[in-house]
Amino acid sequence: MLIHKNGTILHVLLTGANVSDKDQDIVCLLTAGQKEGLALGDEGYRSKPLRRRLKKETGVGLLTPPDVPQKHRLFIRQVRERIETRLSQLWNGFIDRVFSRSWQGPWNTILLKVLHYNLCQAQILTA
């Protein structure tokens, strides 16, 4: 999931359990369409080849907590808490109640919930 600093969900990918979310192809696909910017990832994304490829293909820089000076770590922790909160809100809102016969059912439900969440974030709808 790619989330804007204001809390809006920009992009979501659903992958198989056997696919690492740290895979370079997945990270580049997730950030595709972003012209530039800075993405925050956890320590697992701290890879120079991944950073170079991401910057070259999407223009997005990648920042991980160890790269941040100590005086800014509180800010990074707060951003990570917001991201974890968004994921928890989506999870609590629907994921345990999806009964589908194919992968398309849960995926459509996820997309609808993300759309609803973003409309609430933009104050177009109320929760």
**DSSP annotation string for 6-57:** TS-EEE-----TTS-TT-HHHHHHHHTT--SEEEE--GGG--HHHHHHHHHH
- Flag whether 127 is in a domain: no
- Flag whether 126 is in a domain: no
pLDDT in the model for residue 94:
63
Domain count, the chain: 1
- Flag whether 54 is in a domain: yes
Show pLDDT as tens, one digit a residue, over the chain (127 residues): 888 877 788 888 878 778 887 788 888 888 888 878 888 887 878 888 888 988 888 888 888 888 888 888 888 888 888 778 877 877 776 655 666 677 787 788 788 888 888 888 888 988 6
pTM of the model: 0.69
pLDDT in the model for residue 117:
81
Asked if 41 contacts 63 with a C-beta cutoff of 8 angstroms, the reply is yes
